[in-house]
Amino acid sequence: MKLLTTILLSSTLAFSLNVQEIVQKSDAIRNVGGSMYERGYIVEYKNARKVDSMTIDIYAKAYGNGFKTLVKILSPKKDKGKLILRSGNKMWLYDPNSKATAQMSPQQRLMGQSSSADVMSANFAKDYRLTLVGVERIKNGAKQMRDAYKVAMRAKSTSVSYPIVEYWVDKENFRPILAKFYTSTKKLLKKSYYRKYKNVLGTMRPTQVLIIDGVDTRKATKLDFSHMKQANLPATWFKKSYLPKFQSD
């Protein structure tokens, strides 16, 4: 009996280690380590027709197991110059017109189906408790059928942006394929397809995320990322007190 318990415990440990590794490898594809810059172009669609668009500059810096991210809105003109900072669980919006900084929830909408959290670097392996559900054959962003690990994820703390996530990772190369984001009551909020893999900074990374509304699938938001590069960014940029002083030139 004791031997059986040990075998069961060992196999459970090995299984959970594998899940952790799968998601860590996938995180390393989605996120660039160190400090980085990229430009994001967000387009909101309804019934496959463009409704709105937004362009942002994204600055991210790894710290500990997580990231601090600063987003500067370049367009539309009415929002130009607004800054969104995420540091750990906390997020702030600085408005250059009112020159005021307000704390906001990461779930607060940025545009269309995308929340501010969607454009921020995130470390799934650190923020979630992971369970490997199995291997499923699903269609990836390039519409090829692929064997994928299906991972069930539950947030470790209430301040993580999405309480429950289902995540599909390509079995062969650990590339993220699809994530479904749920409320704590398991209501589907949205699904994100990770698409258009390109060689960025030596690794094949997704340069597009297609977010489809959980209820009305005719509503979608597409996030295209470009100009990604590693950059030496001062730690001060990622402090709330620095927001009124921020100047990227």
Least CB distance to another protein at residue 13 (A): 28
Least CB distance to another protein at residue 97 (A): 5
Least CB distance to another protein at residue 135 (A): 21
Token digits of residue 242: 């620095």
Between residues 20 and 246, which has the closer beta carbon with respect to another protein? 246
| DSSP string computed for 80-125 | TT-EEEEETTEEEEEETTTTEEEEE-TTSEEETTEEGGGGS---HH
Between residues 16 and 242, which has the closer beta carbon with respect to another protein? 242
Instruction: Give 127's DSSP letter.
Output: H
What is the rounded CA–CA span in Å between residue 80 and residue 60? 19
Between residues 19 and 167, which has the closer beta carbon with respect to another protein? 167
What is the rounded CA–CA span in Å between residue 35 and residue 68? 9
Q: Which phi and psi angles does 165 have, rounded to 5°?
A: -135, 140
121 vs 18, 35, 80, 124, 158, CA distance in Å? 23, 11, 22, 10, 18
Q: With beta carbons less than 8 A apart as the criterion, state whether 224 and 114 touch.
A: no
Between residues 141 and 176, which has the closer beta carbon with respect to another protein? 141
Least CB distance to another protein at residue 4 (A): 40
Find the length of the chain.
249
Between residues 51 and 152, which has the closer beta carbon with respect to another protein? 51
Between residues 19 and 117, which has the closer beta carbon with respect to another protein? 117
What is the rounded CA–CA span in Å between residue 174 and residue 122? 16
What is the rounded CA–CA span in Å between residue 165 and residue 196? 22
Least CB distance to another protein at residue 2 (A): 40
Least CB distance to another protein at residue 95 (A): 8
In the chain, helix, strand, coil percent, each to 5? 20, 55, 25
